[in-house]
Structure 1
Amino acid sequence: MFWRRLRWLCLLSLSAIGSVQADIAPSGVDAGPVVFFADLSADEQAATTVSKGRGRAEFLLDRLSTRLSWRVTTTALDSTVLGVAIHGPQRMGTNAGVQIDLAPQGARAVLTGSAVLTEAQLDYLLAGRMYVNVRTRRYPVGELRGQIQRQPPTAAQTKIIDAAALAAARANGAARAVQRRKAATPAVTQSRSLSRKPGTLSFVVANWDNAIHETRFMDECPEGPAIGNDELWWRGLSRADKDKLTEKGLVQPVDRRPTAVLRGPEGVDVCWNPTSVQDPPLRTARSKVAFGFNLDGRTDDNATAKTCRHENFTGVNGEPGVDNQMYRLLACHYGWRRNGVLDTFGNEERRNSGRGVVLIEITGITDSRNSSDVKVAFYRALDPFQIDNAGRILPHASYRIDMQGDRPRYGTITSGKIVDGVLHTTAVDLRLPYYANSAYAEIDLRDMRLELDLTPGADGKVRGLVGGYYDLDKWWEYILKVEFLIATGDWSCPALFRAAHELADGYPDPKSGACTAISSAFRMDALPAFVIHPGAGGSGSGGAKVSSR
Structure 2
Amino acid sequence: MTDRTPMRFAGLFAGCALLAVATPAAARTYGFALSELTTAFYRGSEKVDCPEGRSPTTRDAFLLTQPPAERARLLKPEHAEELEKKYKIDYVFGPEGKDICTDADFFDTPDRPPQKLNKSKVAYGFDLDGATPGKTAPGTCSHDSFVSPSGEKGIDNQLFRVIGCNTFWRGAENAQHQPEHNWVENPTVVLVSGVDNWQDDPEVEVLIAPAADRLTLDVKQQITPGASLTLSDSGKGRTIMKGQIKGGLLTTDPRDLVIPYNWLGSTGGELILRHFRLRVTRTPEGLLKGEAGGYRPIDNAIAVPRIGGPGVANTAGLECASVRRALRLMADGDRDPQTGQCTSLSSSLNFAATPAFIFEKGVLLNSAEQ
| Match of residue 249, structure 2, among 398, 414, 422 | 422
> CA separation of 1:384/1:495 partners in 2, compared to 1, >3 Å: closer, same or farther?
same
C-alpha distance in 2 between matches for 1:230 and 1:439? 27
4+ residue stretches of structure 1 with deviation over 6 A? 340-343
Q: 1:474: which partner in 2?
A: 300
Question: 2:213 corresponds to which residue?
Answer: 383
Would you say 1:286 and 2:119 are equivalent positions? Answer: yes
Whether 1:501 aligns to 2:334 is no
- Partners of 1:363 and 1:206 lie apart in 2 by 19
Contact preservation (8 Å) 1:301, 1:312: no
Question: What is the alpha-carbon distance in structure 2 between the residues aligned to residue 444 and residue 491 of structure 1?
Answer: 22
C-alpha contact (below 8 Å) 2:264/2:304 kept by paired residues: no
Q: Who is 1:446 aligned against?
A: 274
Using the TM superposition, name which of 328-337 and 476-485 deviates more.
Answer: 476-485
Q: 2:42 touches 2:123 (CA, 8 Å); kept in 1? A: yes
2: distance between equivalents of 1:211 and 1:330? 11
- Maintained 8 Å contact 2:193/2:206: yes
Distance 1:435-1:301 versus aligned 2 partners, 3 A rule: farther
How big is each residue's C-alpha offset from its partner over 1:1-51, in whole Å with a ceiling of 9 and x where there is no partner?
A: xxxxxxxxxxxxxxxxxxxxxxxxxxxxxxxxxxxxxxxxxxxxxxxxxxx
How many pairs align? Answer: 334
Say if 1:261 and 1:415 are closer, same or farther in 2 by CA, change over 3 A: farther
Moved more, 269-278 or 446-455: 269-278
SS at structure 2 position matched to 1:539: coil
Amino acid at match of 1:375: E
2:74 maps to which residue? 239
Specify whether residues 240 and 492 from structure 1 end up closer, same or farther in structure 2 by C-alpha distance, changes over 3 A only: closer
State how far apart, in whole Å, the 1-side matches of 2:199 and 2:295 are: 29
Partner of 2:17: none
TM-score (norm 1): 0.55
Q: 1:438 to 1:301 in 2, by over 3 A?
A: farther
Instruction: Return 526-535 or 468-477, whichever deviates more.
Output: 468-477
Cα distance, 1:332 vs structure 2: 1.0
Change (3 A) 1:310 1:241: same
User: Cα gap change, 1:266/1:377 in structure 2, threshold over 3 Å: closer, same or farther?
Assistant: closer
2:163 corresponds to 1:339: no
Distance 1:485 1:372, change over 3 A: same
Alpha carbons of 1:442 and 1:260: their partners in 2 closer, same or farther (altered >3 Å)?
farther
Tell me the alpha carbon deviations over residues 468-492 of structure 1, each in whole angstroms, 9 at most, x when there is no partner.
1112243344441133333565432
| Cα 1:211–1:299 shift into 2, 3 Å | farther
* 1:115-146, Cα deviation, whole Å (9 max, x unpaired): xxxxxxxxxxxxxxxxxxxxxxxxxxxxxxxx
Q: Does residue 321 of the first structure (1) align with residue 321 of the second (2)?
A: no
d(CA) in 1 for partners of 2:351, 2:87: 31
8 Å CA contact 2:100, 2:313 repeated in 1? no
Counterpart of 1:309?
142
Over 3 Å counting, the alpha-carbon distance change for 1:256 and 1:485 in structure 2 is farther
Aligned mates of 2:89, 2:174 — CA distance in 1: 22
Label 1:385 to 1:290 Cα distance change in 2 as closer, same or farther (>3 A).
same
- Deviation string 1:64-120 (CA, Å, 9 cap, x unpaired) is xxxxxxxxxxxxxxxxxxxxxxxxxxxxxxxxxxxxxxxxxxxxxxxxxxxxxxxxx
Q: What pairs with 1:67-86 in structure 2 (closer than 5 Å)? A: none
TM-superposed CA distance for 1:243, in Å, is 4.6
Paired amino acid for 2:227: A
Whether contact under 8 Å (2:33, 2:187) holds in the other structure is yes
CA RMSD in angstroms comes to 3.2
Contact 1:341 / 1:489 at 8 angstroms: preserved in 2?
Answer: no
Query: Measured at CA, do residues 447 and 268 of structure 1 come closer, stay the same or move farther in structure 2, by a change above 3 Å?
Result: closer
The structure that has the greater radius of gyration is 1
- Greater relative CO, 1 or 2 (CA 8 Å, sep 6+): 2
Contact 2:26 2:196 in 1 (8 A): no
- 1:213 maps to which of 30, 38, 42: 42
Contact 1:381 1:402 in 2 (8 A): yes
Matched, 1:222 2:46: no
Q: Given residue 447 of structure 1, which amino acid in structure 2 is its aligned partner?
A: H
Equivalent residue for 1:364, pick from 179, 187, 194: 194
State the shift of 1:447 in Å: 1.2
Contact preservation (8 Å) 1:447, 1:469? yes
Please say if residues 334 and 489 of structure 1, whose CA atoms lie closer than 8 Å, have aligned partners that are also in contact.
Answer: no
Task: State the partner residue of 2:341.
Answer: 514
Letter in 1 for 2:40: A
Q: Taking structure 2 as the reference length, what is the TM-score of the superposition? A: 0.79
8 A contact 2:117–2:162 mirrored in 1:
yes
Cα distance, 1:394–1:268 mapped onto 2, change above 3 Å: closer
Q: Map of 1:81-100 to 2, 5 A cutoff?
A: none
Q: CA deviation at 1:198?
A: 6.1
Distance 1:336 1:388, change over 3 A: same
> AA paired with 1:239?
L
Structure 1 segment 83-122 matched on structure 2, within 5 A: none
Q: Determine helix, strand or coil for the equivalent of 1:498.
A: helix
Question: Percent of counterpart pairs with the same letter?
Answer: 28
Shift of 1:390: 4.3
- Which range moved further: 273-282 or 196-205? 196-205
Range 472-481 or range 287-296, more displaced: 472-481
The residue number in structure 2 matching 1:270 is 100
| 1:498 positional shift | 1.4
Unaligned runs of 5+ in 1: 1-195, 545-549
**Partner of residue 259, structure 1:** 89
The separation in 2 between residues aligned to 1:276 and 1:330, in whole angstroms, is 19
Change (3 A) 1:218 1:383: farther
SS for the counterpart of 2:271 is strand
Pairwise CA distance, 1:521: 1.1
| SS of alignment partner, residue 501 of structure 1 | helix
Shift of 1:524: 1.9
Where 2:327 maps in the other structure, the secondary structure is helix
Q: How does 1:127-146 map to 2 (within 5 A)?
A: none
For residues 256 and 392 of structure 1, what CA distance do their matches in structure 2 show? Answer: 43
